[in-house]
């Protein structure tokens, strides 16, 4: 009996060790183990070799917390009550658009994922549908399709995170990705809205071209205006300085004139005549050699003086006895012309 009791105790001890060894478990990287005691949450443990009280006292459940999960929202299922797809949304101006997108999320609280919601995956889908309908319901159709299309995803993400945090689902929204053609009008009016989008793109292109033209013309106009302004300022300064110089010179001449009026008048007369005769053609006639009246073709003399050279034919026509540079005396062939000239000379002498 004694040996039998020892054998039973040994067997019981071995069974107890085996039962206790069932409490060892391994948690992989990227996982969390949620431990429950008699069905009540006890705690969570991270990656590594862990131990808990064996079943049925405690249990553990492994949850992937770093894995990125994805769910599609906006199915093509036809709703019998409305005859529209499940992706149809109502805008602020009472138009309909269809939106399809994918929600990417991961768990940030394993306990909340397991115990706060009966079906957390469906809760994520419902929260996404609620958020996108609220966001689109506050936008006009044109804005949702073109102008504010890029703002739909961040607004839906922020609103989804608020809803899921309120219900303590234990989910962190990583991103909202609109699918190809994710925001589009119904098929019945797709062609008309494509034309509208093309017109909007043409408008933006024309606006950009006009802005580029303005960026090219406006700086040049500003530069021209600045240049003209600088030139006008320079002209103003030059004219003012010249006027001031003339005034000072006049004041100086006036002071000298008050001291010696006759000398100042003579000097001014000589200076003026010097300036005049410096720029005119002058012809000197010596009248002391004889009293004969000569006819001088002044117009031809001045014309020949202005010419740079004499042609060979014209040089040959000049008599050989005439000196170079001398003006040939031309005797009128008519006696009446000589008499008229002599009469004019007598009149001048008598005067």
CB atoms within 10 A of CB 8: 10
Which pLDDT band holds residue 296 (cuts at 50, 70, 90)? low
CA distance 127 to 120: 10
Please give the pLDDT value at position 317. 41
CA distance 91 to 191: 19
Higher pLDDT: 312 or 136? It is: 136
CA distance 312 to 315: 5
Please give the pLDDT value at position 330. 41
CA distance 144 to 185: 10
Which pLDDT band holds residue 111 (cuts at 50, 70, 90)? confident
Considering 40-54, 136-150, 201-215, 291-305, the range whose residues carry the highest mean pLDDT is 201-215
Structure tokens given for 107: 């768990």
- pLDDT tens-digit series, residues 69-98: 888 887 766 666 666 677 778 888 888 888
Structure tokens given for 66: 């770093």
Which pLDDT band holds residue 327 (cuts at 50, 70, 90)? very low
In 3D, which of 108, 163, 105 has the Cα closest to residue 132? 163
Higher pLDDT: 299 or 136? It is: 136
* 175: CB partners within 8 A, 6+ apart: 103, 104, 153, 157
Strand pairing class (58-64; 40-45): unpaired
Backbone angles phi, psi at 23, to 5 degrees: -85, -5
Q: What angle do CA 95, 100, 105 make, to 5 degrees?
A: 130
Please give the pLDDT value at position 315. 40
| Average pLDDT of the chain to the nearest whole number | 77
- pLDDT tens-digit series, residues 127-183: 998 999 899 888 888 778 777 888 888 999 999 999 998 988 888 999 888 876 667
CA distance 201 to 198: 5
H, E, C per residue of the chain:
CHHHHHHHHHHHHHHHHHHHHCCEEEECCCEEEEEEECCEEEEEECCEEEECCCCCCEEEEEEECCCCEEEEECCCCECCCCCCECCEEECCCCCEEEEEEEEEEEECCHHHHHHCCCCHHHHHHHHHHHHHHHHHHCCCHHHHHHHCHHHHHHHHHHHHHHHHHHHCCCEEEEEEEEEEEEEECCHHHHHHHHHHHHHHHHHHHHHHHHHHHHHHHHHHHHHHHHHHHHHHHHHHHHHHHHHHHHHHHHHHHHHHHHHCHHHHHHHHHHHHHHHHHCCCCCCCCCCCCCCCCCECCHHHHHHHHHCCCCCHHHHHHCCCCCCCCCCCCECCCCHHHHHHHHHHHHHHHHC
- pLDDT tens-digit series, residues 242-254: 999 989 988 888 8
Q: Which residue has the tokens 């769910």?
A: 71
CA distance 157 to 173: 7
Residue 23 has pLDDT above 80, yes or no: no
In 3D, which of 294, 296, 284 has the Cα closest to residue 338? 294
CA distance 92 to 105: 29
Q: Once rounded to an integer, what is the mean pLDDT over residues 35-63? A: 77
């Amino acid at each position: 009996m004694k040996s039998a009791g020892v054998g039973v105790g040994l067997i019981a001890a071995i069974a107890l060790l085996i039962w206790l060894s069932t409490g060892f478990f391994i948690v992989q990287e990227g996982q969390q183990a949620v431990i429950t005691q008699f069905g009540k949450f006890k705690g969570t443990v991270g990656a590594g070799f862990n131990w808990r009280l064996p079943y049925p006292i405690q249990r553990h459940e492994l949850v992937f917390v770093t894995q990125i999960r994805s769910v599609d929202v906006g199915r093509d299922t036809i709703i019998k009550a409305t005859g529209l797809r499940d992706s149809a949304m109502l805008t602020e101006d009472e138009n309909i658009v269809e939106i399809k997108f994918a929600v990417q999320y991961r768990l940030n609280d394993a306990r909340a994922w397991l115990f706060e919601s009966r079906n957390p995956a469906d809760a994520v889908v419902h929260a996404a549908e609620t958020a996108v309908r609220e966001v689109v319901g506050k936008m006009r159709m044109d804005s949702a399709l073109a102008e504010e299309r890029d703002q739909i995803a961040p607004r839906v993400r922020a609103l989804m995170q608020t809803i899921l945090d309120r219900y303590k689902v234990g989910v962190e929204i990583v991103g909202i990705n609109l699918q190809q053609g994710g925001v589009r009008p119904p098929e019945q009016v797709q062609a008309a809205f494509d034309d509208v989008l093309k017109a909007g793109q043409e408008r933006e292109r024309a606006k950009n071209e006009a802005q580029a033209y303005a960026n090219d013309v406006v700086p040049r106009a500003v530069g021209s205006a600045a240049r003209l302004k600088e030139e006008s300022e320079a002209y103003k300064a030059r004219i003012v300085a010249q006027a001031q110089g003339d005034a000072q010179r006049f004041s100086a001449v006036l002071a000298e004139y008050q001291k010696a009026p006759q000398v100042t008048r003579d000097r001014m007369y000589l200076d003026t005549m010097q300036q005049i005769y410096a720029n005119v053609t002058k012809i000197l006639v010596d009248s002391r050699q004889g009293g004969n009246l000569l006819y001088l073709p002044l117009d031809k003399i001045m014309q020949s003086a202005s010419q740079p050279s004499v042609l060979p034919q014209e040089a040959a026509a000049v008599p050989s006895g005439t000196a170079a540079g001398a003006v040939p005396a031309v005797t009128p062939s008519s006696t009446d012309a000589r008499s008229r000239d002599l009469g004019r000379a007598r009149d001048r002498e008598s005067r």
